[in-house]
Amino acid sequence: MIARLSILATAALVATIGAAQAQKTLYVAGYGGSYETIMRARVIPPFEKAHGLAVSFVAGNSTDTLAKLQAQKDHPDLDVAIMDDGPMQRALQLGFCAKIEPGPNYANLYDLAKMGDAVATGVVATGIGYNADAFAKAGWSPPESWAELAFPKYKGKLAIPGIDNTYGLQTLLMYARMAGGGVDNIDPGFATMQTVAPNVRAFESSPGRMSELFQSGEITIDVWGSARIAALAATGFPVKFVYPKEGAPALFVTACTVKGARDDADGQAFVDWLISPEVQAILAETAFGPTNKEVKLTPEQAKGVPYGPDQIAKLVTFDWAAINAHRDAWTKRWNREVER
């Protein structure tokens, strides 16, 4: 009897192991931090249940993910890549993304969220953050324009991320655009940055350090993303975000399935899941504005995120393919002329 039970137990164990081994695993690379937390807790589990598979989330910044795609281009381990729009544009140029197969949610995207073989799953605005209490104490009105960053009253109280950071790069591009230039004529942008630079206390690309500069009172105004400002405001700090009247550059969270991936079909389904109204509302809690026009957010969910056609219309987009061709040269010039 004992022997028979042992045989049955062994058979059950083998069957369990076999079932586990047979279960497919989808490998998804994306951001760490609060994004990873909400993905693991609320976005991934319903997808796993619906599709009968496991999702392995590989956390890292966009540069890390792009490097993985480069290293694995012949035999990719990843099925889905989630990155900022700049690195994603590079991935598209290098042919790392598979041809997109539009799912049921694709048609409901804003046009600017359709990026060839990638889609934008969320959007952040780059604008001006300011300490509302410090401004009130000084008797200053809230900032309204990018041009105001050159005002003498902000000398030593301003922080801007470096050109290694999308927010800093977009600041340069906005100044070029405002002066009649652009990606193909960046000179006006550098000329304006040279008038703003004397006010800059720190060219700070670290989100943690930027928050510290605000909290210590070393700065009262900065260039930053709406998501970063929302996260700092959530701690109780009196920081507010401004969409400058000349426009706020858009920074997109984008996703694509990886060319040559082992599970393209489930990868395509996962990307479509990310742009579904259900998931878009969840991701809005991490301060990413929805790119699906059908998403309905509560006033609380909409606080601090680009939301709705009016705010989306105010966003400025740039040609990342052209930017990437110039970025190394601009970085060297920035180090010579701006961040000296």
Token digits of residue 171: 């600041």
146 lies in the same domain as 9: no
Predicted confidence band at 3 (pLDDT cuts at 50, 70, 90)? very low
- Asked if residue 26 and residue 114 are part of one domain, the reply reads yes
Task: Clarify whether residues 149 and 58 are in a common domain.
Answer: no
Work out the average pLDDT over 212-221. 98
- 24 in any annotated domain: yes
Do 167 and 329 meet the contact criterion of CB atoms below 8 Å apart? no
For residues 276 and 227, state if they share a domain: no
Q: pLDDT (tens digit, 9 = 90+) per residue, 110-155?
A: 998 999 999 999 999 999 999 999 999 999 999 999 999 999 999 9
Buried b (16+ CB within 10 A) or exposed e, 108-147: bbbeebbbebbbbbbbbbbbbbbbeebbeeeebeebeebb
The residues with which 30 forms a beta bridge, in sequence order, are: 59
What the block records as the tokens of 96 is 């790392």
What is the reported pTM?
Answer: 0.77
Total domains in the fold of the chain: 2
Claim to verify: residue 32 and residue 107 sit in the same structural domain: yes
Is-contact 318 327, C-beta < 8 A? no
Give the tens place of pLDDT for each residue, 148-187: 999 999 999 999 999 988 899 999 999 999 999 999 999 9
Same domain, yes or no, for 20 and 159?
no
The pLDDT of residue 12 is above 50: no
- Check whether residue 241 and residue 265 sit in a common domain: no
Instruction: Identify the domain containing residue 177 by its residue range.
Output: 125-249+320-337
Residue-wise pLDDT tens digits, 276-313 = 999 999 999 888 999 999 999 998 888 778 998 888 88
pLDDT for residue 321 is more than 90 = no
Q: Is residue 315 part of a domain?
A: no
Compute the mean pLDDT over every residue in the chain, rounded to the nearest whole number: 91
Same domain, 199 and 285: no
115 lies in the same domain as 76: yes
CATH number at residue 147: 3.40.190.10
Do 136 and 58 belong together in one domain?
no
Q: Are residues 14 and 84 in the same domain?
A: yes
Model pLDDT for residues 66-106, shown as the tens digit of each residue: 999 999 999 999 999 999 898 999 999 999 999 999 999 99
- The answer to whether residues 276 and 292 touch, using CB atoms and an 8 Å cutoff, is yes
Say whether both 255 and 119 belong to one domain.
yes
Stretch 29-53: mean pLDDT: 93
- Tell me which of 92 and 21 has the higher pLDDT: 92
Burial state string for 264-285 with b = 16 or more CB within 10 A and e = fewer than 16: bebbbbbbbbbbbbebbbbbbe
If you write DSSP's letter for every residue of 268-323 in order, what string do you get?
HHHHHHHTSHHHHHHHGGGTPBP-BTT----HHHHTTS--HHHHHHTEE---HHHH
Residue 242, pLDDT score: 93
- pLDDT (0 to 100) of residue 22: 55
324 or 239: which carries more pLDDT confidence?
239
